Structure 1
């Protein structure tokens, strides 16, 4: 570490492609903000799942991107390069050789080099180890210098501490002001309610309850769904499916509809304190957000004033029935003010930096 600036090796799913990769926006926001604070990040990502063929940004100037072949040999070659870093991060859900990376990054741990597990889907990880007593990760958790999560609050922190984690801290999703902001409306996305999210097993039933059934119940209103995998899903005639929405179109997608809908995956809703990245994206565009209920919403936005909350699909129908253009605009503007004042990636990077410096200082004192 030079001049209190960290050289970080980061193993994640992808920084340059959001294709089947919901963590992309989160990675970009955090890493860009760290770079602005003087830290250097090398992001190692596998060439897998057609992500390189569906890039939505070029290699950025605020991080070095290393794309490696999906082979064990390539993974070990990247680990060898990562040994020069001050901190090594293994993110959850890389998608290629996850178990190998979980184990092997710990071999890079020294008194002067931190090794961190960054869980971008803590509910899924915790469910995984709770359902399999033979999962190797159970024995690895206590060995990491710390566990970072992108959400979960006390339920996730307490669960990780029970499993032996030395330290577990949520670094919540946030707004990347460089990429998500208000823009002019776009006729492609005009509708009363829009939802953006990939079709996933633990989200599909909630999409039916909070989006598709309300659409069927209100034939006089227009609905739009974006994301991968919904092409063969039965939908009422007032629902338009537009497929994968590239990051460059997210601002217009959020700015144009009267309201946008956030639907949590079942596991996220169960643990609570897990605002999706798209909640902050939409707030950063000044959108009127309707979200399904989960514990901890009021930690981020004030319900009824900065965000609308629906506990059931019937609530979505009722909110839409009463929502005027004026009210929607006022709610979106209030959310925009809140996210700029408290929930940008600059705020998160400052929190992370303070946490890491304290850990580095602690380790130096222990060695001395």
Structure 2
């Protein structure tokens, strides 16, 4: 049996899911690691926005500690140097300074987990180095990426990553499952407001809602501006904590997946919402992007819509037997390959291929 690993993860947030998809991604992964005997210390910057909206104060699957500024990471030097691997996540506040400071501590294995890879690459191409600098990409022993496929090649060839591993989002199947609740909405969507997603949301949910006044729709997520023209039959829930996600999905006849523009362009970037909805036995209607078929084959495990007409047709013409067959196929795929435990095994296997080193890391000027 392999020896359990000790990990330090420095991420955007574990304690609060408000306005970000990182928390639920980390929760599923770290819970999977704990169930396999590994130990994790999660370090989170204590910022007011998340402090005021915490929905997980004391996780039972890892240690969670907060730090006030980059200098405070020195308090964790023994843990960082003693861990089998240290992983810095994307969108960490003052990420460039965090990466430099941790690199200088010379961890045994130093990795980056990008839960926003296409966005990161687009930013770096523009010279935007808010949370990682281009010069820092080659510092990591492994660059773990939310996206797979051609994105991995780009990370190595264009940005100098030593090695890039796919580490997609996942779902905790003990918290997302079929509850057999009564259906309340014909189509729903879970996601914070995003300017680049909004036109797609309007095309694939708002317009079908206007054309189907007898059906019920819902959007759950924060950040939507006052000027959004909600159709009368679209309910808006400003924030839905993770504990309520399971009921939210189970009460939908279909759920909608809308993908960020950078991720559509890159492909191979499945949202955690896809896996959560599928685990709940709710069939998904998704926008189209490269690589989707590798996770959920179109027509077999997912319905793909390009236009408002496509959505209206699915909501009015797709038979119940076909709807349920799509849901069953997607759920089986998720339970087989996309749980937190499955992703934890992938992470640990990749980490074990990296040779531990304490050699000095030279920061490229």
Q: Normalising to structure 2: TM-score of the pair?
A: 0.91
Q: Give a deviation string over 1:300-340, Cα, whole Å, max 9, x none.
A: 11211211111233322222121234432222122112211
Tell me, what secondary structure is at the counterpart of 1:74?
helix
Q: How many residues align?
A: 357
Tell me, what secondary structure is at the counterpart of 1:100?
helix
Distance in structure 2 (CA, Å) of the matches to 1:155 and 1:109: 28
Query: 2:103 matched to 1:106?
Result: yes
Tell me, what secondary structure is at the counterpart of 2:144?
strand
- Give 1:51 deviation, angstroms: 1.6
Distance 1:228 1:49, change over 3 A: farther
Q: Is the 8 A contact 1:224 1:240 kept in 2?
A: yes
Which of residues 312, 325, 329 in structure 2 aligns to 1:330? 325
Alignment-derived partner of residue 153 in structure 2:
157
Tell me, what secondary structure is at the counterpart of 1:201?
coil
Q: Is the 8 A contact 2:142 2:163 kept in 1?
A: yes
Range with greater deviation from structure 2 (123-132 or 338-347) = 338-347
Alignment-derived partner of residue 239 in structure 2:
244
Tell me, what secondary structure is at the counterpart of 2:324?
helix
Query: 2:58 matched to 1:62?
Result: no
Alignment-derived partner of residue 347 in structure 2:
352
Distance in structure 2 (CA, Å) of the matches to 1:133 and 1:239: 37
Alignment-derived partner of residue 29 in structure 2:
30
Query: 2:265 matched to 1:270?
Result: yes
Which of residues 197, 206, 210 in structure 2 aligns to 1:212? 206
Distance in structure 2 (CA, Å) of the matches to 1:356 and 1:59: 27
For residues 11-50 of structure 1, the aligned pairs below 5 Å read 11-50=10-49
Q: Which has the higher contact order (CA 8 A, sep 6+)?
A: 2
- Give 1:80 deviation, angstroms: 5.9
Q: Give a deviation string over 1:259-306, Cα, whole Å, max 9, x none.
A: 000111111111111110010000110001111111111111121121
- Give 1:49 deviation, angstroms: 4.5
Which of residues 161, 168, 171 in structure 2 aligns to 1:172? 168
Q: Normalising to structure 1: TM-score of the pair?
A: 0.90
Unaligned runs of 5+ in 2: 360-365
Which of residues 248, 273, 276 in structure 2 aligns to 1:253? 248
Tell me, what secondary structure is at the counterpart of 2:327?
helix
RMSD of aligned residue pairs (Cα, Å): 2.3
Tell me, what secondary structure is at the counterpart of 2:355?
helix
Tell me, what secondary structure is at the counterpart of 1:45?
strand
